Structure 1
């Protein structure tokens, strides 16, 4: 899977006058899993990103899987915005994936209503930390499997759920981070999950 995205915004799209609710959403996952690509593909504004070219000096610090094919890395966060309808706006924060930047995640989680955990099945172990931190903070999340072209194993969603020890109530879906419609489906799944949890809290209150 390359990093090219579909339907990139060519100019800024102003926030709609009818917008009433803004939700902060964080996109987390391992290095090179597609977080920056997802934010870029769905954002209706030109995304802010803090990608820097990786240098040889960082080779001893960072373990860079060859499968990613990356030569840049996010050092702070990516930011984008998408309106799901006339009233609901999502503010997207893509977290850095390299382990030495994971300390920033707890700060990004502040004020977050929900999260997307992107998974690369070739490096599934890099997803566990993200899931652990979200559960620690009590932040609802969905898991999206970013299917890469060279992923020959093609594990089923049931196999992935078992490998990640995901509870049944956590949504797990396939996605292609390069495609706007696919990324939007992930975000809609998250919002639906948040609404469902809110209704459950109301019923048990």
Structure 2
């Protein structure tokens, strides 16, 4: 299985690909595992462990006090979007101490979703910086938790200080259709980048 790579020098055409690798990244407890689980057409692979009393002194549970497990390596799922294109989804661990996994998981990645929680928006700064520094195309998906304040896209963009061309999408990753729209929005963004690259090469 060969994955397309993204090195910031241009995005390959989707119709040329058979396996497309996406990363789902973001802070601790933001909903990465839930997103993968919602859309995967196969039973997702999850590397979750129970949170311990020791871990509770390290991980900030503010806003996710009911969380009892955490991803320690990756989440993996798959969804077929066309006969020639299958998306392989890799969810990253959210805690600082597992960030060494991000470099390995980003090998061969085509695009990424940065999942954000407006109650703890600063938790996704590291993911934004990671993808920007490596030239990996991404979108920001705001997971709208029950009881959380809802902000407009321009407010989220200003808070994250990201470029105007990067899409921001409001979602509820517990809902399969809403989670699928996140991936569709990312695909549309990648196709738009590919079209821009073609226009630039012709001019």
Does 1:177 find its partner at 2:173? yes
Secondary structure, in 3 states, of the residue corresponding to 1:84? strand
Does 1:149 find its partner at 2:146? yes
Post-superposition offset of 1:62: 2.5
Corresponding residue for 1:78?
Answer: 75
Does 1:167 find its partner at 2:163? yes
Give runs of ≥4 in structure 1 deviating > 6 Å.
none
Aligned-partner Cα distance in 1 for 2:47–2:118: 25
Aligned-partner Cα distance in 2 for 1:88–1:139: 20
Instruction: Normalising by structure 2, report the TM-score.
Output: 0.88
Give structure 2 stretches of 5+ with no counterpart.
1-16
Secondary structure, in 3 states, of the residue corresponding to 1:83? strand
Post-superposition offset of 1:136: 0.8
Instruction: Normalising by structure 1, report the TM-score.
Output: 0.87
Corresponding residue for 1:16?
Answer: none
8 A contact 1:32–1:68 mirrored in 2: no
Secondary structure, in 3 states, of the residue corresponding to 1:49? strand
Compute the RMSD of aligned alpha carbons.
Answer: 1.4
Give structure 1 stretches of 5+ with no counterpart.
1-19
Corresponding residue for 2:122?
Answer: 125
Corresponding residue for 2:132?
Answer: 135
Rate the CA distance shift 1:56–1:96 in 2: closer, same or farther, 3 A.
same
Corresponding residue for 1:194?
Answer: 190
Which of 95, 105, 115 pairs up with 2:102? Answer: 105
Corresponding residue for 1:96?
Answer: 93
Corresponding residue for 2:49?
Answer: 52
Rate the CA distance shift 1:187–1:68 in 2: closer, same or farther, 3 A.
farther
